[in-house]
Amino acid sequence: MKIMVAVKRVVDYAVKIRVKPDKTGVETQNVKMSMNPFCEIALEEALRIRESGLASEVVAVSVGPAQCVDTLRTGLAMGADRGIHVEFKDGLNPLSVAKVLRALVEAEKPGLLILGKQAIDDDCNQTGQMLAGLLKWPQGTFASKVTLDKEKRVATVDREVDGGIETVLLDLPAVITTDLRLNQPRYATLPNIMKAKSKVIKKYTPEDLNVEIKSDLEVLQVTEPPKRKAGVVVSSVNELIDKLKNEARVI
Amino acid sequence: MGRLLSRIICVSRSRASRSRFVSPNGYSPFRDPGHVSRVSGSGFLRAPWFLGGAKSFSSETDRRESIEYDVVIVGAGPAGLSAAIRLKHLCRERDFDLSVCVVEKGPQVGAHVLSGNVFEPRALNELLPDWRNEEAPVDVPVSSDKFWYLTKDRAFALPCPFDNRGNYVISLSQLTRWMGVKAEELGVEIYPGFAAGEVLYDSNDNVVGIGTNDMGISKDGSKKETFQHGVELKGKLTLLAEGCRGSLSEKIISKYNLRGKVQAQHQTYALGIKEVWEIDENKHEPGAVLHTLGWPLDHKTYGGSFLYHMKDRQVSIGLVIALNYQNPYLNPYEEFQKFKQHPAIKSLLEGGTVIQYGARTLNEGGFQSIPYPVFPGGALVGCSAGFLNVPKIKGTHTAMKSGMLAAEAAFSVLSEGSSIEVYWDFLRQSWIWEELKKARNYRPAFEYGLLPGLAISGLEHYLFKGRLPFTLKHGKPDHEATNEAKLHTPIEYPRADGILSFDVAMSLHRSNTNHEHDQPAHLRLRDPTIPELVNLTVYAGPESRYCPARVYEYVPDAKGELKLQINAQNCLHCKACDIKDPKQNIEWTVPEGGGGPGYSVM
C-alpha cells in the first residue's frame, strides 16, 4: 500500500512573526521557514506504518513556491521514498490545495492519505476534510492514535474531540489528519540528509493536473490583535454595575 | 578532467573500553589529555572518563557513521563560507576537485550571526568581485559618520575618528545567508542544524575531523524515543570558523598551546547587545552611522554604542561593553536599556518598533592576542583566531580574508602536499597583518582610563599610525578583572517601560531563540559548588547580571538558601559566561543542533 503525505512550508514556529507595514500579510522575507509541525507528525506516522510492514512506500507532496523543495528534502531525509512538488507561487487556499491533491491521488492511487490537522500559519484546519469530501473517502481527523488492519482494510483512529477521545473505524482508502499527541517526529540525521539529495522529486504545475487555482475570498487587511488594555479595579458592587451598564454597555 | 574524490560512508567499530585499545580506523579514544572526551559532548555532567561518567554512552559511540571529506569547516559564518567559496574557486581554476562540507549549529545559515555592521567590502571584492550584480545585500552606502560623547542629558559631537567612505551599512546575517547560497551553487555542502560537539584525533594526536552531537538525549542523560547518533565528519583538513570564543577552538588553542607558540597575549573581549528597530520614515536616513562614548558607561569601563541606519526604515542599535569591567554589579543589558533613554537617542526611536534582539561577544585583543592559527590537521579562521580591528570596530573583512587565505593554504596542502603551516606565512604577508599591526596600540591604551586612552588614541591616529617601536600590553584577563562585590554598591536600574526599554523576557522573545527543552544543560559547571561558594558570596553572582538572556538566576530553594538555576533554554550562544566567570567555572558547550537564536536581520 502506498501512503501519501501532504506537507506545508510555513514560518518556523520559534520565529516571532510580525505584520508587514502595508498590512497585506505577515512578513516572510528573511524569515526562517520549516515544515509545519503537524505535517512532520503526519510524515512520522506514515514512516512508522511503513516500518511496521503495513505499507510499501511513502510519498511526500508539497504545493507551493519553488522553495518547497527544501521542505520536501527534509521529508525525504526523514525517510520518505520520493517527493512531488506542485509549483504555485502565491495565493493558495485549502480548497485549491485539496483539488490539487485529489488530482495527485488519481495519478498515484495511494491507499492512505495523512495530513497535518492544520497549518500553523493560517490555522485553517480545512484541507484534510475538504479532500476527503472531494474524494468521497472516510476521514479520521485530530488523530491521536492510528492502528491499521491490513487484512480487513480498515483503520482505527482515536480522535481528540472536545468531550474526550472518540474512536472511529474507517474503511481504506481514507484521509487521516494528525494531532499533536500522535507521535514524536524523528530527527533528520546528517547521513539521511545526504542520501535524500539523490531521491526523486517530481515536479508538476496545477495546469498539468487540470486544476485551476482560484479563491473566492479576498484578504482585505491583516493587523495585529489590539494590545490588551490594563484592567480597572472597582471599589464597590455599585461601581461595577454602573461600569457594566454605562461604559461596557453589557447590561 | 578533474579528479573527483568520493566520500566513503563507513561505520566505525572501535570498541570503547577503557584500555588503550586503538580502533581499526587509527585513533585511540582515550588518549587526549584536554578533556575532549570521546563520548560526545551532549549527554551528562562532565566527569573524568575514568570515573565512568554519570551515564554510560561509551558503548554506543562506536556505532556512529563516519563520512569523509577533503575539507570540513565548522561554522557557516563569513569566515567559514569565505574559505569554502575560495576553495571551490581554486578547484575550478586548477581543475582539481575537493569535497567541502560546512556544519553549522544554527537552524539556518545566518541564524547565529550578529554584528553592528558597517562593512568594508575589501575582502568581498577579492572573493566575489561581481557581487554588485548578484544581488548581494550590500546596498546601503555609508552616508554620514558621526561620533558623540554623551553625558546623561547631552551629546557633544567629537571629530570622527573613522573613515567609512566606500563602506556599507548591512545586516551581516543577511549577507551570510547570501554567501551560503553562493557557496552551495559552487558545490559546497552546508548542513545547518548540526552542532560539532567534539574534535576527532588519530593516534598521533592529529586532528582528523569533528563529531556532531548525538540528538534526542533527555535532561537526565537517557536516550529519548527520537535518539539519533551524531556522525563523524572526517576531513583531511579541518577549519574551525566558530566565531569569537568558539567552543572547539578554545580547546584546540589550549591543547596545542597556540598562544604560547608565538608569545601571544591572552584574548580580551567585549559583549555587544543589539536591537534592530523599524523607525518613523521621516527620522530614517539610510547609511547614517553614529558611534557614542561616555554615558551610560563610566570612565573605567571601556565601551560605547552604535546606531546604523539600514534600508526599509530599519536601524541597528547596540551597546558594546568590554568584559574587563570591574564592577560586578554592572548589568550590560540594563545599561543598554538605559542608553536608549538618552534624549538624543530616544527621539529617534520614539514611534518605532523593535524587530529583533540579540547579543554576542567579540574579540578586542587584536594583534597582541593572535594565536598561532595552525594545528596538526587544520587551522583557525575568523574570530575563532581573532582578527577584529578594534579601533575600526570591524572584523568581518579580516575574518573573510583569513578564510580565503586558509583556503589557499588548504588547497596547496591537498593538491601539492605542502604543509598547512603556510597559512601562517600567508597571514603575515597579507593586509590583515599590516592593518592589525597598525591598530595594535589603541585598545590597550585604555587600560589607563578613558581620557588617557582617548589621548593616546588621538596621537596614534593622527601622528604615529602604529609606527611606535613598542607594543602596549593588555591588562588582566577579563575574568580576573572583576572586583569583589564588597568594593562596590549595587546599581539601581530603572524599570522597563515597554516602549523604549524592555525586560529580558520580552527581548528574548524577539531573538527567536529556542532549544529543545528536554536536553541536558549545555552550560557545564566544572565544580558545581563554586557558584554558591564563590560567585555569590564574593562577587554577588555576576553571571545573573552579565548574561543577556537571563540564563543564570539565584533563586531560593526549599530552605530559603540561594541556589544557582541555569535556564539553558534561553541561551543566545553569546559566550559571555565562558569568558567572564571569575573562576572560569562555567564552560559553554554546544547544545543540540538547530537550537539557539534565530537572527535574520542582525
Count CB neighbours of B51 within 10 A.
Answer: 7
Nine cell digits for residue A228: 490588551
B513 touching A, CB under 8 A?
yes
A161 touching B, CB under 8 A?
no
Please report residues of A whose CB lies closer than 8 A to that of B194. 190
A218 falls within a domain: yes
- The parent domain of residue A51 ranges over 2-225
Whether the per-residue pLDDT at B381 is higher than 70: the answer is: yes
Nine cell digits for residue B264: 601571544
A93 falls within a domain: yes
Active site residue B244: no
A209 falls within a domain: yes
Q: What is the ipTM of this complex?
A: 0.86
Q: Do residue A190 and residue B67 have CB atoms under 8 angstroms apart? A: yes
CA distances from B145 to B279, B391, B459 (A): 19, 15, 21
User: Average pLDDT in the A34-44 region?
Assistant: 97
Whether the per-residue pLDDT at B17 is higher than 50: the answer is: no
Q: Tens of pLDDT along A147-195? A: 999 888 999 999 999 999 999 999 999 999 999 999 999 999 999 999 9
Distance CA A217, CA A94 (A): 11
Please report residues of B whose CB lies closer than 8 A to that of A26. none
Active site residue B160: no
- At residue B16, the pLDDT reads 35
**Per-residue b or e along B427-457, where b marks 16 or more CB atoms closer than 10 Å to that residue's CB:** beeeebbebbebbbbbbbbbbeebeebbebb
In this complex, how many residue pairs, one in chain A and one in chain B, have their CB atoms less than 8 Å apart? 57
Per the prediction, chain B carries an average pLDDT of 89
Mind giving me the DSSP string for A187-209? P--HHHHHHHTTS-EEEE-TTTT
CA B369 from centre of chain: 16
Q: Residue B296, preceding bond cis, omega within 30 degrees? A: yes
Say if residues B159 and B458 touch (Cβ distance below 8 Å): no
Whether the per-residue pLDDT at A32 is higher than 70: the answer is: yes
A234 falls within a domain: no
A236 falls within a domain: no
Q: Do residue B111 and residue A190 have CB atoms under 8 angstroms apart? A: no
Residue A210: band (very low, low, confident or very high) from pLDDT cuts 50, 70, 90: very high
Question: Between A226 and A144, whose confidence is greater?
Answer: A144
Kindly name the residue from B64, B360, B440, B545 that is annotated as catalytic.
B360
Q: Give the SS3 label for residue B80.
A: helix
Q: Give the SS3 label for residue A126.
A: coil
**Looking at the 3D structure of chain A, how many domains does it have?**
1
Question: Between B39 and B429, whose confidence is greater?
Answer: B429
Question: Side-chain half-sphere of A74: how many Cα atoms within 13 Å?
Answer: 27
Q: Do residue B600 and residue A31 have CB atoms under 8 angstroms apart? A: yes
Please report residues of B whose CB lies closer than 8 A to that of A31. 600
A239 falls within a domain: no
Please report residues of A whose CB lies closer than 8 A to that of B111. 32
Active site residue B59: no
Quickly tell me which residue has 540579540 as its cell. B358
Handedness of CA B169, B173, B176, B178 (dihedral sign): negative
Of A72-81, A229-238, B242-251, B354-363, give the lowest mean pLDDT range.
A229-238
Q: CA end-to-end span of chain A, whole Å? A: 61
Distance CA B172, CA B257 (A): 32
- Cβ contacts of residue B70 below 8 Å, gap of 6+? B5, B98, B99, B100, B235, B236, B237, B414
With CA atoms as reference, the chain B residue closest to A29 would be B600
Q: What does DSSP say about strands B168-169 and B118-119: parallel, antiparallel, or unpaired?
A: antiparallel
Chosen for mutation from A71, A187, A224, A229 (greatest number of chain B CBs closer than 10 Å) is: A187
Which of A30, A186, A191 is nearest residue B9 as measured by Cβ atoms?
A191
Residue B157: band (very low, low, confident or very high) from pLDDT cuts 50, 70, 90: very high
Residue B62: band (very low, low, confident or very high) from pLDDT cuts 50, 70, 90: low
- At residue B38, the pLDDT reads 35
Of B523, B521, B553, residue with least CA distance to B536: B553
Q: Do residue B107 and residue A32 have CB atoms under 8 angstroms apart? A: yes
- At residue B48, the pLDDT reads 39
Active site residue B396: yes
A105 falls within a domain: yes
Whether the per-residue pLDDT at B497 is higher than 80: the answer is: yes
Distance CA B365, CA A110 (A): 63
CATH code of the domain containing A211: 3.40.50.620
How would you class B207 by CB atoms within 10 Å of its CB: exposed for 0-12, middle for 13-18, buried for 19 or more? buried
Q: Distance from B296 to chain A by nearest Cα, in Å? A: 30
Distance CA A170, CA A173 (A): 8
Whether the per-residue pLDDT at B42 is higher than 50: the answer is: no
With CA atoms as reference, the chain B residue closest to A185 would be B226
With CA atoms as reference, the chain A residue closest to B507 would be A16
Chosen for mutation from A12, A13, A16, A227 (greatest number of chain B CBs closer than 10 Å) is: A16
B107 touching A, CB under 8 A?
yes
Q: What is the dihedral of CA A74, A75, A76, A77, to 10 degrees?
A: 50
Whether the per-residue pLDDT at B318 is higher than 50: the answer is: yes
A244 falls within a domain: no
